[in-house]
Amino acid sequence: MTISALPEFETLLLETDQHICTCTINRPDKLNALNGRVLEDLEKAFTYINEADDIRAVILTGAGTKAFVAGADIKELSALNPETGKKLSANGQRVFSMIEDSSKPVVAVVNGYALGGGTELALSCHIRIATENAVFGLPEVSLGLIPGYGGTQRLPRLVGKGKALEMILSGRMVKAREAVDSGMANTFSGSKEDALKQAREMLGGMLKHGPVALQKAIQAVNASDDGKTSGLEAEAGLFGELCGTGDFKEGTSAFLEKRKPSFSGN
Ligand code: CAA
């Protein structure tokens, strides 16, 4: 196994083997929740990956076996107001769009919980392989919010508007088999190790093809996402508005205080 020297990050682990870079989000004590630092590190890591000649494909996963990413960091969210909320949403969207627009194929190995921003991060990858304990979901409404990292735009494209609305409005959790049946995940594997092996095999097959063709194929498929920009702008605007509501304060406080929320509709 050849491991080249790679940049180091506070919240990410990077390693390469046979031109495939595995990027692991590494905050297992907080179920790999996406705080500002993780987003900053992801942006730097993907800038590096996109420029590194010896890296031709990427696997994105979460540290441990319990969670891929349990969402945006609710502690950070709880302090948002309409202005900072809109900025946070737009910033996360920008980083996730960078992953979606990466010139190299990106496979998410979704190991355990992928909730809120975790599902949205997986959706921004080109392909998703779920482990048998994977759980997808967009529970933002339970916090008095909506998905703010592109979920309202990317999920309907994969599963259709009806299924996406059902998931977003209910906030319910979706297990691996349903995720595959609905088109949200491409396939599922057993353990995280199995899923990583499957991802490496899948990418190994793709890497037999010319890198320019892979790059242009990603570009062409992404070009069909008409209205992405205005949809994302609308999402960030609405996310910001919700950060000024009492229900948002109540939803995030209830989570942090480990109690059930009591929403008043204001
Ligand atoms: N943000 C911050 N901390 C989180 C977190 C999150 N999204 N998810 C989990 N954690 C923390 C918990 O607070 C806990 O920390 P402490 O040990 O310091 O108390 C630790 O991770 C372990 O979590 P739990 O004790 O809750 O683990 P569990 O097994 O009982 O439950 C879970 C697991 C069902 C995933 C639960 O943690 C959970 O519901 N997490 C929140 C999921 C969520 O609502 N995500 C959406 C966030 S909003 C969003 O993402 C907005 C957006 O689109 C931009």
Answer yes or no: do 150 and 242 share one domain.
no
Pocket-testing residue among 74, 77, 146, 259, ligand 1, by greatest number of atoms within 8 A of Cβ = 74
The answer to whether residue 96 sits within a structural domain is: yes
pLDDT at 265: 77
Q: What pTM was computed for the model?
A: 0.93
pLDDT at 5: 76
pLDDT at 228: 66
pLDDT tens by residue, 43-98: 999 999 999 999 999 999 999 999 999 999 999 999 999 999 999 999 999 999 99
Tokens representing 235 are 């999402």
Pocket-testing residue among 27, 29, 31, 119, ligand 1, by greatest number of atoms within 8 A of Cβ = 31
pLDDT tens by residue, 206-265: 999 988 889 988 988 888 776 666 778 889 888 999 999 999 999 999 999 999 999 887
The answer to whether residue 263 sits within a structural domain is: no
Answer yes or no: do 44 and 138 share one domain.
yes
Say what percent of the chain tops pLDDT 90: 86
Answer yes or no: do 240 and 111 share one domain.
no
Contact 136/110 with Cβ under 8 angstroms?
A: yes
Answer yes or no: do 122 and 39 share one domain.
yes
147 C-beta closer than 6 A to ligand 1: yes
Residue 194 belongs to domain with CATH number: 3.90.226.10
**Residue 120 known to be catalytic:** yes
pLDDT tens by residue, 115-126: 999 999 999 999
Q: How confident is the model at residue 3 (pLDDT cuts 50, 70, 90)?
A: very low
Q: Looking at the predicted structure, is the pLDDT value of residue 195 above 70?
A: yes
Catalytic residue among 15, 43, 140, 241: 140
pLDDT at 244: 94
Average pLDDT over the chain, rounded to whole?
94
Answer yes or no: do 84 and 56 share one domain.
yes
Q: Which residues are CB-contacts of 92 (< 8 A; sequence separation ≥ 6)?
A: 34, 39, 72, 117, 120, 148, 149, 150
196 C-beta closer than 6 A to ligand 1: no
Q: How confident is the model at residue 182 (pLDDT cuts 50, 70, 90)?
A: very high
Question: Strand 187-188 and strand 127-130: pairing?
Answer: parallel
Tokens representing 161 are 């508007």
Say what percent of the chain tops pLDDT 70: 97
Q: CA-to-CA distance for 153 and 145, rounded, in angstroms?
A: 15
The answer to whether residue 1 sits within a structural domain is: no
Q: Which structural domain, as residue segments, surrounds residue 126?
A: 12-206
Total count of domains within the chain: 2
Query: Which residue reads 């737009």 in tokens?
Result: 90
